Structure 1
Amino acid sequence: MTAENKGLWLGLLGVFIFALTLPMTRLATGTSDAPQLSPWFVTWGRAALAGVLSAAYLYFSRARLPQAQERGPLVLSLIGNVVGYPLLLGWALRHVSASHAAVITALLPLATAAAAAWLMHQRARLGFWVFAGLGSALVAVYSLLRAHQAGHGFGLSWADGLLIGAVVAASLGYVAGAKITPSLGSEKVISWVCVMALPITLPGTWLTWPSQAIAASSWLALLYVGVFSMWAGFFAWFRGLSLGGPLRVSQTQLLQPFISILAAVPMLGESLDAMTLGFAALVVMTVFMGRRMATPTSK
């Protein structure tokens, strides 16, 4: 197998791992009618698990300490990817289905490109911003239609606001980590982020430990998002990008919302919804076109 094909398969593995984050998080937190682990505990617990594994990895790989100029981006990545994204996602998934969340979070690749244009001072083509605006409009229309179907009138639900906040937090965290990946190394970036968070996540896990009985499936879901979504998935994803090339392998991300939607059927008992699948396809199409135009313009 060539390095390019190996990279593609590793990229697909990373996308599959990340796609299961939505149904697994909903399984861990439960719903508003049948709550399980609190979103706070899931946020701290998953990061604490990843932090312990990261500490072992950094020790045995004899990784160097982050330099002064690398610590700022690591902290921003910590805020976005360790706290912001999982916490906002966890609260939202108590009130909306994983399939619903998959449509909103499908905007993440475009949001990441937009964050890169802002934080890394890249000039994207006008077409990129057009498709970014179109994708955002599609998500807004989907949310309004969902609210109307639920009998809430034509208005965005607060859960959708949380999902949008999660997308923004994750995109800022991704770009902050990307800025120091060339100097620190991709796998070590996520590992240092998780280790730096341990002084917060370990006490947070202890203070928010559930006092009521929790279903075994919720504990297993927490184990998944801590070990795989927060840590091991990045190893497969970053290695795939390195071997297969970012341009080719990153396109596998377009499959992520569909994997999330399909996985939610057997895992959570959700039904396939024509409107959800249709809007997911339209949003993914805007992401595909937008990312093709995200390359910087010549100055």
Structure 2
Amino acid sequence: MKADNSAIAVLSIADDSHRRASRGSLLAGVGVLSFSGSLPATALAMRGFDPYLVAIGRAVLAALVAVICLRAAGAPLLPPRAHLRAYALIVLSVVIGFPLFSGLALAAGATTAHSAVVVGLLPAATAVFAVLRAGERPRPLFWTACAAGALSITVFTLTRGTGRFAGADVLLVLALLSAAVGYTEGGRLARETPGWRVISYALVLAAPITVPVTAVLAVVTPQEPSAESLAGFAYVGLVSMFLGFIPWYAGLAMGGIARAGQIQLAQPLLNLVWAWLLLHEEIGAATIAAALAVLACVAVTQASRRRPGVGT
């Protein structure tokens, strides 16, 4: 009888773990859907505003909302001192790094479709940092798929240009690495702190930098605001920089950083759809093929991971 009870307890724990992982994947999916409009919205915003102003100013808009939310919840405006290092990494990576590098890549001539494919390796990059920072241990097949994805992206970028990486591609890689760091750190913190507070704290900590820089840029850079540029700026400030992180960080914490992070494999294809619908960009066969290759490679990385509790 005792053995039967033990078996039931184990099955119950496994079932709870599976449900929690499923909820995490669902929340991560909502976050990915939110983030999928970021590149097209950035391109729209830059039709009326300077790329630097869009990249930094969006964090100011999000910080205003974050302060309101923290105050309404009665939460402190600053995180615990013990976590300041992790929050500093989030500030440098997803609050400043990704918006800046991705925006400059678009300004340098990269289309949103091209950018979406290159950034399509973000789930694999996030998994790498999950190994380094969160102690997860994927199987060898995982790394084989990552290498195949990297090769497909390399072939894509070289065949689309002059046979070498352009400056925009370097910026996109920096954006990719920035997001991977920020997602990993945020996912780790969200295990103890609600996801909305994680991104709120990061935005508040960044405010002493983002607010004065935005003020200066608003004065010294040319601006031609329009309905579409204002809509794009509002999207990247409210959704990409704040609302999207609420389900995203919660999903990473519940489903595991590497596992839930792989939900982002759908983002390149979603980006292509938004670029076609909103920006009327032409999407060639090579771009679609590269996006599908990344999709397949990252799908393998997810399927090859060990189950929670067995080395992950």
Q: Is the 8 A contact 1:262 1:272 kept in 2?
A: no
Residue in 2 aligned with 1:33?
Answer: none
Residue in 2 aligned with 1:292?
Answer: 303
Residue 39 of structure 1 deviates from its aligned partner by: 1.9
Q: Is the 8 A contact 1:125 1:294 kept in 2?
A: yes
Q: Is the 8 A contact 1:112 1:172 kept in 2?
A: yes
The aligned amino acid for 1:21 is S
How many residue pairs match? The answer is 287
Residue in 2 aligned with 1:229?
Answer: 240
Q: Is the 8 A contact 2:158 2:165 kept in 1?
A: yes
Residue 180 of structure 1 deviates from its aligned partner by: 1.8
Q: 1:110 aligns with which of 124, 127, 142?
A: 124
Residue 170 of structure 1 deviates from its aligned partner by: 0.8
Q: 1:24 aligns with which of 10, 31, 41?
A: 41
Q: 2:31 aligns with which of 7, 10, 14?
A: 14
Task: Specify every segment of 5 or more residues in structure 2 that has no aligned partner in the other structure, as ranges.
Answer: 1-18
CA 1:81–1:183: 2 relative to 1, 3 Å: same
Q: 1:172 aligns with which of 174, 181, 203?
A: 181
Q: Is the 8 A contact 1:46 1:225 kept in 2?
A: yes
Residue in 1 aligned with 2:16?
Answer: none
Q: Is the 8 A contact 2:59 2:237 kept in 1?
A: yes
Residue 24 of structure 1 deviates from its aligned partner by: 0.7
Q: 2:157 aligns with which of 138, 143, 150?
A: 143
Cα deviation, 1:39-82, whole Å, max 9, x if unaligned, reads 21111110001111001111111224422221110000110001
Residue in 2 aligned with 1:67?
Answer: 80
CA 1:5–1:71: 2 relative to 1, 3 Å: closer
Residue 97 of structure 1 deviates from its aligned partner by: 0.8
The aligned amino acid for 1:49 is L
Q: 1:279 aligns with which of 290, 297, 300?
A: 290
Q: Which aligned pairs between 1:236-255 and structure 2 lie closer than 5 A? A: 236-239=247-250, 245=255, 252-255=263-266
Distance (whole Å) between structure 2 residues aligned to residue 56 and residue 119 of structure 1: 31
Residue 159 of structure 1 deviates from its aligned partner by: 0.4
Distance (whole Å) between structure 2 residues aligned to residue 11 and residue 176 of structure 1: 15
CA 1:119–1:238: 2 relative to 1, 3 Å: closer
Q: Is the 8 A contact 1:50 1:226 kept in 2?
A: yes
Q: Is the 8 A contact 2:190 2:253 kept in 1?
A: no
Distance (whole Å) between structure 2 residues aligned to residue 122 and residue 5 of structure 1: 18
Distance (whole Å) between structure 1 residues aligned to residue 202 and residue 124 of structure 2: 23
Q: Is the 8 A contact 1:113 1:291 kept in 2?
A: no
Task: Specify every segment of 5 or more residues in structure 1 that has no aligned partner in the other structure, as ranges.
Answer: 31-35
Residue 13 of structure 1 deviates from its aligned partner by: 3.3
Residue 213 of structure 1 deviates from its aligned partner by: 2.5
Counterpart check, 1:199 vs 2:213: no
Cα deviation, 1:190-223, whole Å, max 9, x if unaligned, reads 1100111111111111111133423331122011
Residue in 2 aligned with 1:47?
Answer: 59
Distance (whole Å) between structure 2 residues aligned to residue 298 and residue 23 of structure 1: 38
The aligned amino acid for 2:144 is V
CA 1:189–1:89: 2 relative to 1, 3 Å: same
Distance (whole Å) between structure 2 residues aligned to residue 10 and residue 181 of structure 1: 13
Cα deviation, 1:56-113, whole Å, max 9, x if unaligned, reads 1111112244222211100001100011110000010121111111101111110001
Distance (whole Å) between structure 1 residues aligned to residue 283 and residue 189 of structure 2: 40
CA 1:159–1:177: 2 relative to 1, 3 Å: same
* Higher Cα radius of gyration: 2
Q: Is the 8 A contact 1:17 1:228 kept in 2?
A: yes
CA 1:251–1:114: 2 relative to 1, 3 Å: closer
Q: TM-score, normalised by structure 1?
A: 0.87
The aligned amino acid for 1:29 is M
1:71 aligns to what SS in structure 2?
helix
Residue 294 of structure 1 deviates from its aligned partner by: 4.2
Residue 132 of structure 1 deviates from its aligned partner by: 1.2
1:184 aligns to what SS in structure 2?
coil
Residue 125 of structure 1 deviates from its aligned partner by: 2.0
CA 1:281–1:60: 2 relative to 1, 3 Å: same
